[in-house]
Amino acid sequence: MLWNALTRPASTESALWFAAAAGMAGVAVGGLAGCWWTLSGTVIFWSALLVLWWRDSDRHPWETGLVLLLTLCYWGTFLLSRDLVQVSDYILNSDTARYLEEARAWTAHPRHAGFVVITFPLVCLSKLGQSLAGWPWLGREAIYLQCSLAGALAMAMMFRVLIRASVERLTALTTSTAFGFSLVIWAVSSVVETFILSVLLLLFLIVELRRFLRTGSGIHMMNAALISFLALGISLENIYHLALYMFTLAWRVGWMREGVRWSHAVIYPLVAVGGVLALIWVQSAMIGPGYWRSPWGDRLHDAPATNLVEHLDHFATPYGGFALRGPSSWSGTAYRSFVAAIIAQPTQKSMTYGTRLDSRQALGGSNVPYLLLLAILTVTAMIGFREQIRRVQGTGFLVALLLLVVLVRHFAMAGFAPRQGVLFSPPSILALWILLALGVSGFSAARGTRRIARLGPVALLIMVILLFVTNLFYLLRIQLP
């Protein structure tokens, strides 16, 4: 009976999510002592994610080849310019240099307590590569390869989410490719950053929330909680997962008129938030008072941070702290998130990309064809939403959930770091492309649009070509002396 329970799909997935969580927690704690066994924790973490992706019944035969090809594409983007990538803030203000320095010092900090599952193998693999084959770069490249794999899996998971929503295969593929070649997605998948792994976990969460909405199963609730625990370990910015889960509960009660157990409202935050707080507490006990310090924020205060609340407050200080800003901040955040983060602005330097953008530049250069295509896709999507929601059960919830992602993220970025909207935009970009795919699919299936049914897919294909050429040119150009 135990074997039968463990081999049921939902039980097996739960075991895999527990394994991924244990792998991350093991590395986050054991790695601080410089343990070589952190390699095993990282292997367990990635093995669990890969098995979860591989065993899905919606996986297509060619998907594996696409993931491998895209992983190599991302990994090779800056392969010949690693010194540039490791200059602080060089690639769209990314923190690659800091993550590598922390890995070499076997240390961590509370905002990304679990991201060490990616970075801590650096020293071990570098020593192993040097001793076995004279390859001191093995650890460094293994970290870049992990982020590239996360980006490729995110594109594959997005395709799978769209197929499950009954989006036509060609539309799903072109939209997923447009997402994969969006500037910031391409960039953060090619360096060492938390954002692309957060997006991958968001996609897994969307799948589990839809299953939980349909079944009300405690297993899917626990899976969602473990995914959010992993996401919060990777970055505390993923705290918005709580809003997505509470929205799912509200939808199940208010819209579907289904009951919800009190445990569903308690266990999820206990596992997700309580788990990561416990992880942070253990790390702080092992590292000491220096764990809470924020070098760029502490200098603006009388004393360094001594706990999590002070750490987050000091971290926010250089950005001006959270505030309800004016309309210019909201429009600027929208421009950074949905224009500059998707298609490269050729006149912008890499190190200051995002911080010196001006929304008045939106109608310049390559933005014109991009905005024209985006307008066509938006109009067709608005027309097609009603048909897609009527035709495919569960689409209404998915649309509402994605709109919530956009609103919560936009509110947070506009209020906290309006000039960092490019780097923080991946979840919003993901939501945008999925929403466009859903609407375009409904537009193609609607009766009154049969004569122009291919308008959306053709616009998506042209968009893919435009993004690939423009963004590839920019990413190659910034590597030149």
Global pTM value: 0.94
Note the pLDDT of residue 208. 95
Note the pLDDT of residue 142. 95
Note the pLDDT of residue 386. 87
Note the pLDDT of residue 475. 95
Residue 411 neighbours by CB under 8 Å, 6+ apart: none
| Identity at 435, one-letter amino acid code | L
Which pLDDT tens digits describe the chain residue by residue (481 residues)?
A: 334 433 455 678 899 999 999 999 999 998 887 767 788 999 999 999 999 998 876 677 788 889 999 999 999 999 989 888 888 878 888 889 999 999 998 889 899 999 999 999 999 999 999 988 889 999 999 999 999 999 999 999 999 999 999 899 999 999 999 999 999 999 999 999 999 999 999 999 999 999 999 988 889 999 999 999 999 999 999 999 999 999 999 998 877 667 777 788 899 999 999 999 999 999 999 998 889 988 777 787 788 888 898 888 878 776 665 555 556 677 778 888 999 899 998 888 888 887 777 666 667 667 899 999 999 999 999 998 888 888 888 889 999 999 999 999 988 887 777 667 788 999 999 999 999 999 999 888 776 666 677 888 899 999 999 999 999 999 999 998 7
HSE, CB side, 13 Å, CA atoms: give it for residue 441.
26
Note the pLDDT of residue 359. 62
CA pair distance 394, 78, nearest whole angstrom: 40
Note the pLDDT of residue 30. 87
Q: In the chain, where are the structural domains located? A: 7-287+322-477
Note the pLDDT of residue 137. 92
| Closest by Cα among 246, 215, 204 to 8 | 215
Note the pLDDT of residue 349. 86
Note the pLDDT of residue 5. 37
CA pair distance 98, 101, nearest whole angstrom: 5
Note the pLDDT of residue 327. 60
Note the pLDDT of residue 90. 86
